[in-house]
Structure 1
Amino acid sequence: MEDLQSWLANDSSYISNSLVFSNSSPSPSSSSATTRSAPTLCEDSSFNSVRSSSSALTYYSYQTAAKPSVSHFCIASIKATAAQISCLAVRGGLLYAATMKEIDVFDLATLSLVETFGSGSGWAKSIAFAGGRIFTAHQDCKIRVWQTPISTKSKQHQLISTLPTLRDRFLNCLSSKNYVKVRRHKQNLWIQHADAVSGLAVDGDRGELYSISWDKSFKTWKTSSDMQCVGSVSSAHSDAVNAVASSGGTVYTGSADGKIKVWRSSASGDRRKRSLKTTLSKHESSVNALALTPDGAGLVSGGGDGVILVWERRDDGGDDEDMDFFVACCLKGHKGAILSLVCVNDFLISGSADKSVRIWKYGKGFGYRGCCVAVMEGHCKPVKSVVAVEDEDLDDQRFSVISGSLDGEIRVWKVVISDHYSD
């Protein structure tokens, strides 16, 4: 309990303690899903085969739809070198786990620890990849850039830059117009974050990196060699910005103010400006996590109220017009704040402060309801991050889910979606 209270003191923008410390647990219902588990790292963990009740309340009426048959089991449980995992990321057969002290790198095939880097760089909040570089967001208001190992013999990640770069700071400090007020009696360059950098997202097609911060801003950086800051919205939200996602030049930001904002490049050409296309405000609490559907057409958001909303766009998608989104699906079942979301195929995976990971099915045939097809339990602390790795199989849909919690535990789950459906 003390560990979670300490984390909440640093990440106070997520949700009130009354939701996080909920003692409620999902009630089992009859299901064709099966579960097997690896030994737990805590004494009181349980691994029951659980499916959420199909009668969970939503905002909308729906028709009954068949549920896919799901099998899931924990195949491994490992411990990071430090507590409080804040972010997981997968690239090139490696699993990156950001903790409060450093970043651990595991081999995905063997789950063995191959390297630890970033010690002394401050608590890493987010990890993103662009080209051969790794970008990490930190509690100390900085973004660090690392060079991935060039060969298998050299497995050391090298720090090559810190954003904003020294050159960028020098070019901007020469004019008073490049300073903005960040708090009373204090000014910063507009290219600098004034509080913890809480998230990163990369748009590979545009060669841009987007960073968000608890200072209520988000910024745009080039991922080319100069890594220059080319855009900033200093007051993007009225409270800390917790989540970011991007696709096709559109940037989505979610905040502790309960709002999601949708941005595109400003038609005015001002490098510091972004055009606000719409504001989505259906969550009753903070927005902690965002994810885009695989086709990039839909947005999924998770809130401190434990609710997951699936958004779809009503208009035809023109870049020069305002964007009109509506809630196509509302998913309820978690008893704590949603802390992480990831989409894989037609499924959504969520990690929560209630210590569980859920897999959801939604879309055509499921009306506005959607359904929870699996609940994976066993973590002793809130699940802060989840990632998915797809497997190829001719008969079934198979993928692995990797979840990380605030006690430093990482669990690897194998999920099999069968062609058979149950009512």
Structure 2
Amino acid sequence: MGLVPFPLPCHTKESTEESLTSSSTTSGLHSESSTSSSLSSQPSLPSVPSPPLSKSNQLEVMRSPSVHHHCIATLQSQSYICTLALSGNFLYSGSSDGQITAWSSILSHPSNPQYNKVVATPSTVKSLVVVGSGDDRNKLLFSAHQDHKIRVWKINTTDTHEKLKCIATLPTLKDRATSFFFSKNYVQIRRHKKCTWVHHVDTVSALAISNDGSFLYSVSWDRTLKIWRTSDFKCLESVGNAHDDAINAVTLSRDGTFVYTGAADKKIKVWTWKKDKSMSVRLVGTLEKHKSAVNALAFNTDGSVLYSGACDRSILVWERDGGEDGGWGDMVVVGALRGHTKAVLCLSVVADLVCSGSADYSVRVWRRLSSGIVGDYRNRSYCCLAVLEGHRRPVKCLTAAVDNTDSDYSGDSYSVYSGSLDCYIKVWQIRVPFS
């Protein structure tokens, strides 16, 4: 039960040269396998053929039911859309010019969102996560940036607007000062350069937040995984050389016990850590089936299935395989979702839908079918409900939500939000009839 080895690299010499030539004029997408010893990884967007699965590992992809889908709103930005995050009735977008924008009425009136320019930052925004919900007075927005920093914003909410105030930059001054005076706190980042372990030294590519909002996880093209406490923004742990190349994605198991990282070294690694005085992080598994850089990771809603998207154009479906750790560190591929013609750049899950965005300019919406019987092979059946086309550049980010405003429809209704390098955010309505 495994993949047939596929010898092609994720990019050719010509595509690499083209990427390096254009890197000065774009903010980059996901980091591909680097060819130099420098920690600074060059972004690129090539794709290779999907890795073939053995017949025993093939998912059953069913014919899609009569699904209605259309674009109900298009939101324009001044630059590339790099990341999206939903919180309550607001959609946050981060762009390559460093601007963070909040769009209000996104859930109550999805076809008529209101533009609300919030704040400009000095560097490309790579990832956004929100801690807190609704009218929570302690609601925070964390933004990851290309300038190696994480910024913390306090959110002040009104009925139609949200204002952001920057209250910290990670690592904090206290963290930096504490680490500065002790040689044991320095790590070698280049032949003649050292830095304290609390610093990221390359683009912070992705963020994830624990379910209770207590811990923030950050990964970077510097190949490190860091864990931060959200109450005081202290860096609790840093895993150096967590991967052999730039890390592009991070996600958590449902209970927050395990951390999954995906990187340009084609690997997904599984980590666990003790939330005690030792704060020790331990590698419990390495998942190796992709044949090119891993760009995106997402769990299904009950946390039983992991989806991974990569430059090999495939979305691999992973399930637990038992073991002492409950199988989280020894997951196995049960199949692949194929249809994209270029690299898969982003994933988002809502209810039983899996949404994937690609460098082929499209968004695909997949549905996992269930027989209602635990362990039934039919639970591994999927259908492609829709192909959403309309973007003119690669789709870089996605988020989705159940559409509770569509009361006139008797089936399930969803809103899917896609951000692209064409500088547009599109809002899609997906209507799925009851089966």
TM-score (norm 1): 0.83
Shift of residue 62, structure 1, vs aligned partner: 5.6
Could you tell me which runs of 5 or more consecutive residues in structure 1 were left unpaired when the two chains were aligned.
23-55
Query: Taking structure 1 as reference, are residues 148 and 364 closer, same or farther at Cα in structure 2, changes over 3 Å only?
Result: same
1:37 aligned partner: none
Secondary structure of 1:168's counterpart equals: helix
> Structure 1 CA distance, aligned partners of 2:150 and 2:345?
21
Contact 2:213 2:230 in 1 (8 A): no
Partner secondary structure for residue 148 of structure 1 = strand
**CA distance 1:17–1:149, change in 2 (3 Å):** closer
Contact preservation (8 Å) 2:116, 2:161: no
Counterparts of 1:319-338 in structure 2, within 5 Å, are 323-338=329-344
Q: C-alpha separation between the residues in 1 aligned to 2:166 and 2:60? A: 54
Superposed CA offset, 1:227-280 (max 9, x none) = 100011011000000000013221100000000001000599543x41111000
| Cα deviations by residue, 1:298-333 (Å, 9 ceiling, x for unpaired) | 2110001110011111216747x8732011231111
Q: 1:389 aligns with which of 401, 404, 408?
A: 401
Identify which of 282, 290, 314 aligns with 1:307: 314
The percent identity for this pair of structures is 40
Structure-to-structure mapping, 1:1-40, within 5 angstroms: 5-6=22-23, 10-11=28-29, 13-14=31-32, 17-19=45-47
Matched-pair contact (CA < 8 Å) for 2:397–2:418: yes
Residues 32-82 of structure 1: CA deviation (Å, up to 9, x unaligned): xxxxxxxxxxxxxxxxxxxxxxxx9854346674633311011111201x2
Q: Distance in 1 between matches of 2:324 and 2:402?
A: 29
Q: Which residue of 2 aligns with 1:105?
A: 102
The answer to whether the 8 Å contact 2:28/2:44 transfers is no
**Structure 2 residue 72 is the aligned partner of structure 1 residue 75:** yes
Q: Secondary structure at the match of 1:419?
A: coil
Alignment partners' CA distance in 2, 1:77 and 1:206: 31
Tell me the CA shift for residue 334 of structure 1.
0.3
CA distance in 1, matches of 2:320, 2:410: 33
1:254 aligns with 2:256: no
- After superposition, the Cα gap between the structure-2 partners of 1:148 and 1:317, relative to the gap in structure 1 and judged at 3 Å, is farther
> Unpaired segments of 5 or more residues in structure 2?
1-14, 33-42, 133-138, 372-377
Q: In the alignment, is residue 115 of structure 1 matched against residue 117 of structure 2? A: yes
2 CA distance for matches of 1:198 and 1:214? 7
**Alpha-carbon distance in structure 2 between the residues aligned to 1:322 and 1:76:** 39
Provide the C-alpha distance between the structure 2 equivalents of 1:169 and 1:66, rounded to a whole number of angstroms.
56
1:188 is matched with which residue?
195
Alpha-carbon distance, 1:19 to partner: 2.6
Q: Is the 8 A contact 1:123 1:139 kept in 2?
A: yes
Deviation of residue 156 (structure 1)?
A: 2.3
User: Against the structure 1 CA distance between its residues 239 and 76, is the aligned structure 2 distance closer, same or farther, given a 3 Å change threshold?
Assistant: same
Matched residues in 2 for 1:215 and 1:274: separation? Answer: 18
Provide the C-alpha distance between the structure 2 equivalents of 1:61 and 1:152, rounded to a whole number of angstroms.
Answer: 49
Q: For the Cα contact (< 8 Å) 2:225–2:242, is it kept in 1?
A: yes
Contact 2:223/2:244 (8 A) holds in 1:
yes
**Residue matched to 2:127:** 126
Deviation (angstroms), 1:120: 3.5
Distance 1:87 1:18 in 2: 20
1:417 aligns to 2:432 (yes or no): yes
**TM-score of the superposition, structure 2-length normalised?**
0.81
Residues 344/144 of structure 1: CA separation in 2 closer, same or farther (3 Å cut):
same
> Which moves more between the two structures, 101-110 or 288-297?
101-110
> Residue 9 of structure 1: CA displacement?
7.3
Whether the 8 Å CA contact 2:357–2:396 is kept in 1: the answer is yes
Is the Cα contact below 8 Å between 2:29 and 2:396 reproduced in 1?
Answer: no
State the match for 1:227 in structure 2: 233
Give, in whole Å, the separation in 2 of the partners of 1:18 and 1:114.
35
Q: Pairwise mapping of residues 135-150 of structure 1 onto structure 2 (< 5 A)?
A: 135-150=142-157
CA contact (8 A) 1:391 1:400 kept: yes
Residue of structure 1 equivalent to 2:176:
169
Question: Which residue does 1:25 correspond to in 2?
Answer: none
CA contact (8 A) 1:68 1:419 kept: no
Relative to structure 2, which stretch is displaced further, 339-348 or 309-318? 309-318
Seen in structure 2, the aligned counterparts of structure 1 residues 338 and 17 have a Cα distance that, compared at 3 Å, is: closer
How is 1:192-203 mapped onto 2 (pairs within 5 angstroms)?
192-203=199-210
**Among candidates 282, 291, 297, match of residue 284 of structure 1:** 291
Q: Report the Cα offset of residue 206 of structure 1.
A: 6.4
Question: What letter matches 2:344 in structure 1?
Answer: I
How many angstroms does 1:174 deviate by? 2.0
**What's the offset of the Cα at 1:190?**
0.6
Decide which of 364, 367, 370 is 1:358's aligned counterpart: 364
Determine the C-alpha separation between the residues in 1 that align with 2:275 and 2:164: 39
